[in-house]
């Protein structure tokens, strides 16, 4: 199942992943269990500058570009991680580089080629490796195995590195054995193929992204934006992620469990929407809100409003309200010294016990643990 936003666990060291190759020469190693929730990833601070990464105080991200890479997906990590800044001094929080199997030209699926400066050294040094989608004939997509050159590259990943795929990049993670026994997603049109080729993967074809600790996968195209913003939120909190969203003019948060696409047709443009009701509710999250009140804002019956709301948002009004309140509670826990009961009231949960229940369900941690995690990060 899709795991919604939660503080990033610190990833325990692990051996190089077991790789599926046409003729394996070594027994596969097991994939470790995902880290426990409630812990927070630390940004490297003591390591000296390396041959690839020049800023030891930043989190190092390598974007692994292969022939046939889709330019849009390739650009997402730099656009999102590159925009993340420390709210105190404006310094950048990530260092992002693009790499490939070797330095040199990499074909895209468009009518141009890109020049990539870095080879596999970046994979050996990165804290996070992002694998965007690429459309290039490969036994990965037909037989579920990595060609030797790719197998060698995946074996080069630094032990303990976080691995992220965008769209059909998940096929490469699966072929490398990184998704065995884990939940994962991909573009909805490729989900059946992913499950057929890799039966040990728990494919969820309906969600925007899946967070399984040290391995994260997203659906296609714009869902890569959602996943990268989710990672920023986990690493540095909602304030930093929201600032990135404002700079890149995208919604600050779409939950990973939200549907990839809405199967029913969207309402025609001339028909009434629920936008005014949502804006009205966002200004009153601290108050008890009823479905009837929201429907009245749009002069609709409750039944019509509920149907239209789900068509537009992909969630019921109640689910949407709960998620907005969880996000508000997270912001207050990170940015204020209000007590848990005060945060609960301002976020509209009423009582601390109710908020604890909802945060535990959404984030896997209690309000106290969540606050302690981000306060510790701020002090560090």
pLDDT at 200: 97
Domain housing 333: 318-379
The token duo for 16 is: 């190089």
Both 300 and 183 in one domain: the answer is no
Residue 255 maps to a domain:
no
Q: Kindly state whether residues 72 and 219 are assigned to the same domain.
A: yes
Tokens 């204020």 appear where?
336
206 & 326 share domain: no
Q: What is the pLDDT of residue 375?
A: 64
Structural domain includes residue 38: no
What pLDDT, on the 0 to 100 scale, is given for residue 341? 95
CATH number for position 332: 1.10.10.60
Q: For residue 8, is pLDDT > 90? A: no
pLDDT attached to residue 266: 42
pLDDT digits (tens, 9 = 90+) for 110-145: 999 999 999 999 999 999 999 999 988 889 999 999
What band does 311 get if pLDDT is binned at 50, 70 and 90?
A: confident
Residues 358 and 238 in one domain: no
- For the ranges 157-161, 264-268, 336-340, 356-360, which has the lowest average pLDDT? 264-268
Specify the DSSP element, H or E, that contains 107: strand 104-107
Q: Are residues 229 and 292 in the same domain?
A: no
Residue range 258-271, pLDDT digits in tens: 555 544 444 444 45
For the cut 80, the answer to whether the pLDDT of residue 380 exceeds it is no
pLDDT of residue 36: 39
Residue 83 within a domain: yes
When pLDDT is cut at 50, 70 and 90, the band that residue 189 belongs to is very high
Indicate the pairing of strand 183-184 with strand 162-165: unpaired
Q: Residue for token digits 């908020």?
A: 355
> Domain check: are 149 and 174 in the same one?
yes
Quickly list H helices, the chain.
Answer: 71-81, 121-125, 139-142, 148-155, 170-175, 191-197, 223-236, 238-248, 275-282, 291-297, 302-313, 317-335, 340-346, 352-363, 367-379
pLDDT the model gives residue 111: 94
Report the pLDDT value the prediction gives residue 371, as an integer from 0 to 100.
85
Final residue in a domain of this structure, among 248, 266, 293:
248
Same domain for 291 and 323: no
Q: Which of 87, 93, 63 is nearest to 76 (CA)?
A: 63
358 domain residue, yes or no: yes
Residue 174 near residue 190 (C-beta atoms within 8 A): no
The pLDDT tens digits for 224-252 are 999 999 999 999 988 899 899 888 887 76
In Å, how far are 6, 19, 61, 146, 184 from 155, measured between CA atoms?
A: 28, 8, 17, 11, 21
For 134, the 3-state DSSP assignment is strand
Give the distance from CA 180 to its chain's centroid.
19
pLDDT of 314? 81
Domain match, 98 and 202 both: yes
Whether residues 204 and 322 share a domain: the answer is no
Q: What are phi and psi of 162, to 5 degrees?
A: -85, 140
Whether 6 shows a pLDDT value over 50: the answer reads: no
The Cα 219–Cα 212 span in angstroms is 14
- Residue spans of alpha helices (H) in 237-298: 238-248, 275-282, 291-297
- The pLDDT score that the predictor gives to residue 17 is 38
Extract the runs of DSSP E, i.e. beta strands, from 166-302: 183-184, 202-203, 209-211, 215-218
The answer for residues whose C-beta is within 8 angstroms of residue 310's C-beta and 6 or more apart is: 316
Question: Residues 108-119: pLDDT tens digits?
Answer: 999 999 999 999
Per-chain mean pLDDT for the chain: 83
User: How far is 305 from 217, CA to CA, in rounded Å?
Assistant: 33
pLDDT band for 372, please (50, 70, 90 cuts).
confident
69 and 218 together in one domain: yes
- Give residue-wise pLDDT tens across range 150-185: 999 999 999 999 999 999 999 999 999 999 999 999
In the structure encoding, which two tokens stand for residue 92, read together? 């950048």
Q: Tell me if 307 is assigned to some domain.
A: yes
Do the domain assignments include residue 325?
yes
* Residue 63: closest CA among 100, 19, 105, 93: 100
Report which of 307, 308, 278 is spatially closest to residue 293, judged by C-alpha positions.
278
pLDDT digits (tens, 9 = 90+) for 40-52: 344 443 345 568 9
Rounded to whole angstroms, the Cα distance separating 116 from 125 reads 17
Q: How many CB atoms lie within 10 A of CB 269?
A: 6
Q: How many CB atoms lie within 10 A of CB 267?
A: 14
- Choose between 379 and 129: higher pLDDT: 129
Q: How far apart are CA 228 and CA 254, in angstroms?
A: 11
CA distance 335 to 42: 19
Answer yes or no: is pLDDT of 374 > 80. no
- Give dist(CA 370, CA 363) in Å, integer: 9
Choice between 144 and 26, residue whose per-residue pLDDT is larger? 144
So what's the pLDDT on residue 261?
53
Considering the domain boundaries, does residue 7 fall inside one? no
Query: Does one domain contain both 237 and 283?
Result: no
User: Are 228 and 299 part of one and the same domain?
Assistant: no
**DSSP helix/strand/coil, 350:** coil
Task: Report yes or no: 312 and 273 within 8 Å, Cβ to Cβ.
Answer: yes
The pLDDT value recorded for residue 313 is 84
Q: How many domains would you assign to the chain?
A: 3
Listed range (31-40, 232-241, 272-281) with the worst mean pLDDT: 31-40
């Amino acid at each position: 199942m899709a795991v919604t936003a939660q503080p990033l666990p610190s990833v325990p060291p692990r051996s190089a992943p077991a790789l599926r190759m046409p003729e394996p020469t070594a027994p596969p190693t097991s994939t470790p269990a995902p880290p426990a929730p409630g812990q927070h990833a630390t940004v490297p601070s003591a390591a000296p500058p390396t041959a690839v990464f020049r800023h030891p105080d930043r989190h190092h991200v390598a974007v692994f570009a292969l022939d046939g890479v889709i330019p849009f997906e390739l650009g997402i990590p730099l656009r999102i991680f590159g925009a993340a800044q420390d709210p105190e001094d404006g310094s950048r929080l990530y260092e992002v580089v693009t790499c490939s199997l070797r330095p040199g030209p990499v074909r895209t699926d468009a009518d141009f080629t890109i020049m990539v400066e870095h080879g596999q050294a970046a994979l050996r040094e990165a804290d996070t490796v992002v694998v965007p989608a690429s459309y290039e004939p490969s036994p990965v997509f037909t037989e579920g195995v990595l060609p030797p050159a790719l197998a060698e590259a995946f074996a080069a990943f630094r032990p303990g590195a976080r691995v992220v795929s965008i769209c059909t990049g998940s096929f490469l993670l699966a072929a490398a054995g990184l998704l065995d026994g884990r939940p994962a997603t991909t573009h909805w049109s490729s989900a059946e193929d992913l499950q057929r080729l890799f039966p040990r993967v728990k494919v969820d074809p309906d969600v925007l992204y899946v967070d399984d600790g040290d391995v994260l996968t997203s659906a296609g195209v714009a869902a890569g934006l959602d996943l990268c913003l989710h990672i920023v939120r986990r690493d540095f909190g909602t304030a930093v992620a929201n600032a990135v969203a404002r700079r890149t003019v995208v919604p600050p948060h779409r939950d990973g469990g939200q549907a990839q696409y809405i199967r029913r047709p969207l309402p025609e443009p001339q028909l009434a929407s629920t936008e005014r009701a949502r804006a009205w509710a966002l200004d009153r999250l601290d108050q008890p809100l009823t479905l009837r009140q929201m429907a009245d804002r749009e002069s609709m019956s409750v039944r019509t409003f509920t149907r239209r709301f789900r068509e537009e948002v992909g969630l019921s009004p109640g689910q949407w309200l709960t998620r907005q309140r969880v996000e508000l509670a997270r912001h207050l826990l990170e940015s204020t010294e209000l007590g848990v009961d005060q945060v609960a009231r301002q976020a509209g949960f009423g009582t601390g016990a109710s908020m604890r229940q909802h945060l535990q369900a959404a984030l896997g941690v209690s309000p106290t643990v969540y606050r302690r995690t981000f306060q510790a990060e701020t002090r560090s």
